[in-house]
Structure 1
Amino acid sequence: MTQPTPISRVRVRGGTPDPDLGRLEAVESDAEAEAVVAVGADAIADQALADASAPILPVGIDDRYGTPRDALAVAADALAAGDYRSVSHPVLEVSVEGEQVARGVFDVTLMTSEPARISEYALDAAAERLFEVRADGVVVSTPLGSAGYGRAAGGPVIAPGAGLSVVPVSPFSTRASPWVVPGPLSLSVERDEGAVSLYVDGAEEAQIAPGEPVAVERVGTVTCLRPLTE
Structure 2
Amino acid sequence: MSATPAVASSIYNTIALVVRPNTAGIEDSVRDVLDFLKQSGYSVVFETETAEHLNMPDIPSMSAQGIGEKADVVIVMGGDGTMLGIARQLAPYEVPLIGINQGRLGFMTDIPRDGMLPVLAKILGGTHKAERRSLLEGRVLRDGKPIHIGLAVNDVVVARGAGSGMVELRVDVDEHFMYNQRSDGLIVSTPTGSTAYALSAGGPLLHPALGGIVLVPIAPHALSNRPIVLPESSEIVIEIKRGRDITVNFDMQTFASLTAQDRIHIRRSPHTITFLHPEGWSYYNTLREKLHWNEYPSGDGKI
TM (norm. structure 1) is: 0.80
How far residue 123 of structure 1 moved from its aligned partner, in angstroms, is 2.4
Amino acid at match of 1:42: T
| Alpha-carbon spacing, 1:38–1:120, altered in 2? closer, same or farther (3 Å) | same
Matched, 1:45 2:81: no
Amino acid at match of 2:17: V
Larger Rg: 2
Matched, 1:208 2:258: yes
| Alpha-carbon spacing, 1:134–1:220, altered in 2? closer, same or farther (3 Å) | same
Q: Distance in 2 between matches of 1:131 and 1:23?
A: 56
How far residue 43 of structure 1 moved from its aligned partner, in angstroms, is 4.3
Query: How big is each residue's C-alpha offset from its partner over 1:95-144, in whole Å with a ceiling of 9 and x where there is no partner?
Result: 11251432232211111013362112232211222333221111112222
Query: How big is each residue's C-alpha offset from its partner over 1:170-222, in whole Å with a ceiling of 9 and x where there is no partner?
Result: 12222221122223211122322x22111112135222222221011224212
Q: State the match for 1:57 in structure 2.
A: 98
Structure 2 residues without counterparts, runs of 5 or longer: 1-8, 21-25, 39-43, 46-61, 282-303
Amino acid at match of 2:37: E
Q: Considering fraction of residues, name the structure with more strand.
A: 1
Q: Considering fraction of residues, name the structure with more helix.
A: 2
| Alpha-carbon spacing, 1:84–1:157, altered in 2? closer, same or farther (3 Å) | farther
How far residue 155 of structure 1 moved from its aligned partner, in angstroms, is 1.4
| Alpha-carbon spacing, 1:58–1:122, altered in 2? closer, same or farther (3 Å) | farther
Matched residue SS, 1:172: coil
Q: State the match for 1:70 in structure 2.
A: 113
How far residue 67 of structure 1 moved from its aligned partner, in angstroms, is 0.5
Equivalent residue for 1:13, pick from 13, 18, 22: 18
Where in structure 2 are the equivalents of 1:142-153 lying within 5 Å? 142-153=190-201
Q: Does 97-106 or 142-151 show the bigger shift?
A: 97-106
Structure 1 residues without counterparts, runs of 5 or longer: none
Residue identity (%): 20
How far residue 78 of structure 1 moved from its aligned partner, in angstroms, is 4.3
Q: Does 140-149 or 23-32 show the bigger shift?
A: 23-32
| Alpha-carbon spacing, 1:52–1:88, altered in 2? closer, same or farther (3 Å) | same
How far residue 21 of structure 1 moved from its aligned partner, in angstroms, is 4.5
CA contact (8 A) 1:155 1:167 kept: yes
TM (norm. structure 2) is: 0.63
Q: State the match for 1:227 in structure 2.
A: 278
| Alpha-carbon spacing, 1:155–1:209, altered in 2? closer, same or farther (3 Å) | same
Q: Distance in 1 between matches of 2:211 and 2:122?
A: 26
| Alpha-carbon spacing, 1:85–1:196, altered in 2? closer, same or farther (3 Å) | same
Task: Quote the RMSD (CA, aligned, Å).
Answer: 3.0
Matched residue SS, 1:155: coil
Q: State the match for 2:139 in structure 1.
A: 95
| Alpha-carbon spacing, 1:23–1:215, altered in 2? closer, same or farther (3 Å) | same
| Alpha-carbon spacing, 1:228–1:184, altered in 2? closer, same or farther (3 Å) | farther
